[in-house]
Chains A and B, each alone.
Chain A
Amino acid sequence: KAGVTQTPRYLIKTRGQQVTLSCSPISGHRSVSWYQQTPGQGLQFLFEYFSETQRNKGNFPGRFSGRQFSNSRSEMNVSTLELGDSALYLCASSGRDRALYEQYFGPGTRLTVT
């Protein structure tokens, strides 16, 4: 079974630009969660999608948004990038409808904002 894939793996953007990251979950998984990982803040939950609906949202500004498609693939978008948005963005999928049990993570997208 193929694992969680994320594209692109690396991105360099300029302040004020926007960016879209993509995540393909494990086949059959319907829950996709997004996390931001930084050295200072650790792992922080962004949002979770299940069956194309946002189920949960973390404490991030509205510049961070996401969506999920009918095939469970998910995208997250960050608009008006700030230097502080530089981070590793991780996507995780779960076979359970509430990410109740173990999540399977992708390799992440390393975003650098200059």
Chain B
Amino acid sequence: AQSVAQPEDQVNVAEGNPLTVKCTYSVSGNPYLFWYVQYPNRGLQFLLKYITGDNLVKGSYGFEAEFNKSQTSFHLKKPSALVSDSALYFCAVRDDSNYQLIWGAGTKLIIKP
């Protein structure tokens, strides 16, 4: 069965430092992976996706994610964190049986000034 895990409930980073939000997945075929962000009292916003191709995927708001097939990971990264990046981040993988997204539990990212 397909699954996705976000091992950290919360990540704290100082403003200006690089940030990483971790995601690992388990799929039977080729993974289709996504990152979304949710700001307070708002719906989810799409950040980036990996379907195929380059392992480093660039997305919105300066975020990027690195696909690592051997480690079955798809970590979200940003070189220099902003306070406005503070939000809830979700990793998702496509379920091959019904093409729906399976979601991680979410990681709360807190950027301190």
Contact = CB atoms under 8 A, between A and B. Distances in A.
Interface of A: 4, 6, 33, 42-45, 48, 55-56, 58, 90, 92, 98-108
A4 B43 contact: yes
Interface in B73-113: 90, 94, 98-101, 103-106
Interface residues of B, number: 21
Contacts of A55: 98
Contacts of B100: 33, 45, 48, 56, 58, 99
Contacts of B106: 42-43
B34 A90 contact: no
A31 B41 CA distance: 24
B101 A45 contact: yes
Contacts of A98: 99
